[in-house]
Structure 1
Amino acid sequence: MTVQAPIPVIVNGAAGKMGREVIKAIAQADDMTLIGAIDRNPSLTGQDVGEVAGCGALEIPILPDMEATCAMAAQEKQLPVMVDFTHPKSVYENVRAAIAYGVRPVVGTTGLSDQQLQDLADFADKASTGCLVIPNFSIGMVLLQQAAIQASKYFDHVEILELHHDQKADAPSGTAIKTAQMLAELGKSFNPPKVTETETIAGARGGLADENIRIHSIRLPGLIAHQEVMFGAPGQVYTLRHDTSDRVCYMPGVLLAIRAVIQLKSLVYGLEKIL
């Protein structure tokens, strides 16, 4: 019986809130091995990432240079997976650089534009390198989205409300955008107008996505990540809601994505595609 080698993993954004959870999850996974940790916080450079994450020494220092880390892994022919939880402003370049080195990205950072996603998909295709872009790693959120698709067959009015912590840089969330896209792909136009609306304060009715679906974003300390999809019809409101109370809820999805991306030769968008 052939024993498969552990999957080598690099974590980009290793000292962030999500990055630390990913470090702990990989350290506990029998089929993975952490080979690199990247974070641009200069005060953490050289520190053991396990100590920073709170799971004990892992003998992996935090380094600031993502490309150098990927290049080193490529030279050793390890061809690892890179989990990216960084920032919307840097995620595109991070993913493109990883693919260029043959490193397979699993991307949890949101904020990529449609054009950037297409560019990365084309680049991954040409490189025959797997890439997963996952707006939300929660299995519960995937189930909510599937339930929303079913409900949309019976309701013509829907709006999306997403609530996140006040350190989230992009709005609306990638998850809310993905949910709206999934509903829009059904080929149905929602929210037929009843009156001519006027906003006395710009943005009061939220952002307008495809097929006339509105998305509302709230940012407050004390929140983590929450989403509601509200359907309305005469005499009733049907609400689907998902709440997170701890970032550990994302880790089963992250580990699933790491295992799946090594089998891919192109970019795949959405956790539901690999379940």
Structure 2
Amino acid sequence: MQYQRQRKTVLEHIMTSKNIRESELLKRQDYLVVQANDLAKAFGNLTTFQHKILDWCFSYVQQNDKPEQLYYTNAGDIIKHLGLTDGGFNYRRIVKAFKALNEKTAIYMVTEKSDGKTGLLMTSLFDHIEVVEDGSIEFSFHRLVSPYVFQLKERYYSFKLSELSQARSKYTLALMKLWNANSHNNRKDTVVIDASLEEWENWFLGADEDGKPKQWPAGRFFSKCLKTAIDELKELYPDVVVNHTVKRAGRKTAGYIVTIGRTKMLEGITLN
């Protein structure tokens, strides 16, 4: 019976989805996108466009949502939000992005059984995604992953959807979220992100189709990924200063330290 009621709600939404007012869309762009920090490194293999669609999905999350919560959106609103031309090409592009999200958001969790044995739980971010021919879209997160998605207290990060949509590079999106995650949602403080090369690659590049972490030569990773993200972050936030230093093990690059903060707050900080 509950499922039937949910399906009725979906039908009602589809019938009214074309009547969404422009002002309602503008309000959505100021909703906070919320992700649990534990999910931050899971989506490095997504493209920039796929990241923006995922950010749109996360923007629907509210503090009191239930694990079985259903969310409703439509392709028309996404097209307007991203500033795309309304037409069949971009509609198909959005559908393909949702298909990729369904295929590329595998989640792995370590479990411990009552007898003390350890297991590996393999699941996905989404429970389901349904796209209807009129552009209506229904989705829900997997019940086992929902606790991480809904985690809004001690460990979470958030950005306004309108801010995230301005980023051109997926690497910038990754750095923006790392910035907020490490600042505990207070970007007025100076943040120091100290990580190994492998950790940076995990955040920015993700894994290949076999689940193996992608690895690039350090020089290529810095020029194509980290430098791109730092440069665009400076462009998006002119009042922010971003410094970096290379961690070395002998002659090899072992990692990077990135410091992000306001000019006055960075005075006196020295990176060795």
What TM-score does the superposition give when structure 2 sets the normalisation length? 0.22
